[in-house]
Structures are given as C-alpha cells and as structure tokens.
Amino acid sequence: MELALYTILRGLAIGILISAPMGPIGVLCIQRTLNKGQWAGFFTGVGAAMSDIIYCMLTGLGMSFIIDFIETNQNIIQILGSIVLLVFGAYLIKRNPAGRVKSPGDIKQKNTYTQDFITGFFLTFSNPLILFLIIGLFARFNFLQPEMSVYITALGFVFIVLGAMLWWLTITFFVNKVRAHFNLRSIWLVNRIIGVVIIIMSMVGLVWGLKDFLML
C-alpha cells in the first residue's frame, strides 16, 4: 500500500513537471485557449500528454533492462538526474517562449477538438529531446524500483497521464478566466517560476544524493 501511494504521488509529480515547461506545446495550448476557448487548449494538452506517456514507457522499458545497475548505483543516478534537472531549470529561466505566440488574427479558428488533439500529439512526439527530461525526472524521483510489481508500475504510468492532464486542465482554466489580462509577460513569468521550482527540486535531490553517496 505504501509503495502504491509512493508511486501514485511520484507519477502525478512527473506528469505535471513534464507538461509544465512552456515550450512550443505550452505556448500552443495557451494560444488556442486565448483564441478558441479552454477546451481547444485542453485537448491540445491531452494530445501532448498521450505523446509524453509513450516516451515515458519507452524510458521505463529501457531502464527495466538495467534494473540491477540502477539498484546498485541509485545514488549516482539520482545525482546525475538532479544535475540534468538543474541545467533544464536554468535553461527555462533564461528562455523566453513568448515570441512564439501569434496574434489572434494569425490563427484559423475552425479546428475541431480532434484536430487540436492530433496536432498536440504530433508536435510533442516530434521532439524526442523530451526523453532527457523524462530520464532526469525518473532518476530524481526513483520512479522505477526493483520491488515494484507490473500492476504498481502500470498505476504509476496512469498517474503520469493524470498529472499531465491535471496540469493542462488547470493552466487552460486559469488562462481562460484571465484572458483579458493575460499577456506575453505572463508566459515568461510562468516559465521562470517553473524553472525556479525545478532548480530547487534538483538541488534538494543533489544534496540528498551526495549525502547518501558520501556516507557509503
């Protein structure tokens, strides 16, 4: 029961943190929410979440083949994962994705939710660099453990999807509610906040990983 709860919470956190950075898909979701309403943005995010879970499963499959190595070198892997997240967080703080947002007049309005889903899926799937973030998160949270059964592992992946969908539901709801006051600076600010959160998490993981490693 404790392991299942651990996996659920880690899955939710990973799903949210995969989705939260404001890259091209995040900008597209906000853009569609501003121009077409909340559900257009949300279904774009759902498409991205489905693509993310494919990459998560590929990462999990790859890591399952080296589970003995992971168990033996858990502290080193957590340290390396934390470093990857630290670099990614710094990149988010420096990066300004607001320039990607187009004006309402530049966007065709007649897309169905299915089209929103498909474009969200393929835009995310066409960016395999997301694997580095996923590997870093899996390592930071020790998501895959030798004692986890197939059912608990599957439960974790389900909650990664739910975490991602929760993020997209929240962000599109918020943007839809404040659309009259939402501007390009808001996107930049969201990215900086997310970057700071990721850096703090990576620093905590790095400190704990180094502490355990030095005590061996």
* pLDDT score of 95: 67
Provide the residue ranges of all domains of the chain, joining segments of one domain with +.
Answer: 2-214
Residue type at position 1: M
| Angle between helix 150-177 and 38-64 (nearest 10) | 150
144 phi and psi angles, rounded to 5 deg: -100, 120
Q: Which long-range contacts (CB under 8 A, 24 or more apart) does 99-102 make?
A: 99/184, 100/24, 100/27, 101/27, 101/30, 101/31, 101/184, 101/187, 102/31
**CA dist., res. 70 & res. 209, Å (int):** 14
- Contacts of residue 170, defined as CB under 8 A and 6 or more positions apart, other chains included, come to none
Encode pLDDT of 174-192 as tens digits: 988 887 776 666 667 777 8
pLDDT along the chain (216 residues), means of 10: 88 93 80 86 95 91 68 74 80 64 48 88 85 86 82 94 96 86 70 80 82 71
* pLDDT tens-digit series, residues 87-126: 877 876 776 655 555 544 444 455 689 999 998 999 888 8
Its pTM stands at 0.76
How far apart CA 151 and CA 180 sit, in angstroms, is 45
